Structure formats: structure tokens, C-alpha cells
Amino acid sequence: MAGITRTLLIFGGFVVVVGAAFYPIYFRPLLHMEQYRKEQAANRSGIVQEDVQPPGLKVWSDPFGRK
């Protein structure tokens, strides 16, 4: 019985660590989409896409835009 408990704690701890790592990367931007749109607009305000985009590649698009 102690082996099962230890195994569950190890796997449970792994799931918690992975979830804690994914929250700020994936879930927080999805939950606070308007805030991230404003931040990205401010960060990209001085950038002219044609000057920094290599020729022949697709121009940047809004990562939060829906198709």
C-alpha cells in the first residue's frame, strides 16, 4: 500500500508541476485576452513589418485573432 501511495504522489506532483508551468504560458493569455492584445499593440507600435520581415514569408498576424 505504501508503494501505491508513493507512486500516486510522484505522478500527482508531476502533474502539478506541468500544470503550474503551463498556466502562465498557455492558460493565462486565454483567460485575459484583451489585456494581452493591448500589451502586444503597445509592444509592436513602432515596428514596420515590411522592414523586419524576411522576403517571401507571411506577414505577422494577430496570434489571438479568430479565423
**Cα 5 from chain centroid?**
33
Confidence of residue 4 (pLDDT cuts 50, 70, 90): very high
Asked if the structure places residue 66 within a domain, the reply is no
State residue 67's pLDDT score: 60
What's the number of domains the chain is made of? 1
> Is 23 within the bounds of a domain?
yes
- Residue type for position 9: L
pLDDT in tens, 15-53: 999 999 999 999 898 899 999 889 988 988 888 877 777
Containing structural domain, residue 16: 2-41
Cα gap 42→49, rounded to integer Å: 14
